[in-house]
Amino acid sequence: MSRTQSEKRAGKPEKKELPAILTESLVVM
Protein backbone atom coordinates (compact mmCIF):
# COMPACT_ATOMS: atom_id res chain seq x y z
CA MET A 1 0.00 0.00 0.00
CA SER A 2 2.96 2.30 0.62
CA ARG A 3 4.00 1.99 -3.01
CA THR A 4 0.52 2.95 -4.20
CA GLN A 5 0.50 6.06 -2.02
CA SER A 6 3.99 7.09 -3.18
CA GLU A 7 3.01 6.66 -6.83
CA LYS A 8 -0.21 8.62 -6.38
CA ARG A 9 1.56 11.47 -4.56
CA ALA A 10 4.39 11.63 -7.10
CA GLY A 11 2.07 10.93 -10.03
CA LYS A 12 -0.78 13.40 -9.47
CA PRO A 13 -0.47 15.66 -6.41
CA GLU A 14 -4.05 16.89 -6.76
CA LYS A 15 -6.26 18.19 -4.00
CA LYS A 16 -8.60 15.25 -4.55
CA GLU A 17 -5.72 12.83 -3.99
CA LEU A 18 -4.70 14.44 -0.69
CA PRO A 19 -7.86 13.42 1.24
CA ALA A 20 -7.63 9.93 -0.25
CA ILE A 21 -4.03 9.53 0.93
CA LEU A 22 -4.92 10.87 4.38
CA THR A 23 -7.81 8.40 4.64
CA GLU A 24 -5.59 5.50 3.60
CA SER A 25 -2.93 6.57 6.11
CA LEU A 26 -5.51 6.66 8.90
CA VAL A 27 -6.77 3.21 7.94
CA VAL A 28 -3.21 1.84 7.99
CA MET A 29 -2.56 3.42 11.38
Q: Where are the domains of the chain?
A: 1-29
pLDDT given at position 27: 74
More confident residue, 25 or 8: 25
What per-residue string of b and e applies to 1-29 under the rule 16 or more CB within 10 Å gives b? eeeeeeebeeeeeeeeeeeeeeeeeeeee
- pLDDT, greater one: 10 or 28: 28
Q: What is the C-alpha to C-alpha distance for residues 16 and 29, in angstroms, rounded to an integer?
A: 21
Distances (CA, A) of 27 to 7, 8: 18, 17
Please state the pTM of the whole predicted model. Answer: 0.28
